[in-house]
Amino acid sequence: MKPHIYAVAPTPKVNHRANRLLAALEPDDFAALEPHLHGVILQQDQVLYEAGDPLHHATFPHDTVASLVAVLKDGRSAEMAVYGREGALGLVSSMMARQSFGRYIVQACGAASRIELEHLHKVIDTRPKVRQLVLNFAEAMMARVLQNVACNAVHSVEERCCRWILSMHDRLDRDTVPLTHEFLADMLGVQRSTVSSITRALQAAGLIRQGRGLITVIDRTSLEGASCECYGTVRRSFERLLPHTYVRDAKGGPRQQPQCS
């Protein structure tokens, strides 16, 4: 796995409001944060934090996606939450113990904004609207994690796989997403052969097309139909608590690829 975020060179030119949580701030509240925000590039498969690591920053993804993963002693893992431009890594944890709840690992490379927690909490403590936005995000994340617990317990691997692909599709706004069978198996907590069998069936049904380390969504409507109810439940909770932060771009078409090495 690639080194922690601290080894990544910052990127000087980013639009911090590409993150929809930051974009939801009032202009004066955003102005209080902006001088302390810095752009970074996150690389695919990079581990940002391990469980128990002290948190020094909150990270707001733009066109990158990362997962919070629980890793067991025997090496098995399962995803607890996924973060894209609708949220922030380490934000909820920093309100409590300031330690990572699990392993944060990057799924898709891209840009992000980060801020030292000292500066972030000064703004949260003095600006009620920022504090309320953070609390709403924390509630939405709690709802997502609880839904994941239920989903992992009662829904089939096929349904969960479709849900996971949809979640990536939402956050990247492009039909082809970087995704290996090994990584998807780790996120779902199953064998790689199980994932290979499921994705072959999805491809045969015309829902996706597979490439080397890539999956292209062909029929999103049918993919949603093959997913479990949890996909829609999580989306609705975000839309209720954080309007306009968890939506796909209204206009389709190709997007500029992130500048990743």
pLDDT at 201: 97
Residue 107 domain-assigned?
yes
% the chain with pLDDT above 90: 64
Query: Both 11 and 122 in a single domain?
Result: yes
Confidence of residue 21 (pLDDT cuts 50, 70, 90): very high
Q: What is the spatial distance between Cα 102 and Cα 47, in angstroms, rounded to a whole number?
A: 11
pLDDT at 239 over 60: yes
Boundary-marking domain end, from 109, 127, 145: 127
Calculate the average pLDDT of the chain: 88
pLDDT at 228: 94
Structural domain that includes position 43? 5-127
pLDDT at 256: 45
pLDDT (tens digit per residue) in 216-228? 999 999 999 999 9
Residue 256 domain-assigned?
no
- Say if CB 46 and CB 107 are below 8 A apart: no
pLDDT at 255: 44
pLDDT at 10: 66
Residue 86 domain-assigned?
yes
pLDDT at 254: 38
Mean per-residue pLDDT for 160-166? Answer: 94
CATH number at residue 175: 1.10.10.10
pLDDT at 257 over 60: no
Q: Which of 22-36, 85-99, 245-259 has the lowest mean pLDDT?
A: 245-259
Q: What is the spatial distance between Cα 175 and Cα 20, in angstroms, rounded to a whole number?
A: 20
Q: Is the pTM of this model over 0.75?
A: yes
Q: Which of 70-79, 193-202, 216-225 has the lowest mean pLDDT?
A: 70-79
pLDDT at 176 over 50: yes
pLDDT at 251: 38
- Say if CB 114 and CB 40 are below 8 A apart: yes
Boundary-marking domain end, from 127, 144, 178: 127
Query: What one-character-per-residue DSSP string does 40-85 give?
Result: EEEPTTBEEE-TTPBP-EEEEESS-EEEEEEE-TTS-EEEEEEE-T
Confidence of residue 4 (pLDDT cuts 50, 70, 90): low
Mean per-residue pLDDT for 7-20? Answer: 78
Q: Domain tally for the chain?
A: 2
Query: Both 170 and 121 in a single domain?
Result: no
pLDDT at 79: 85
Residue 236 domain-assigned?
no
CATH number at residue 79: 2.60.120.10
Query: Both 21 and 77 in a single domain?
Result: yes
Tell me the C-alpha to C-alpha distance, in Å, between residue 7 and each of 102, 108, 259. Answer: 20, 17, 17
Query: Both 21 and 121 in a single domain?
Result: yes
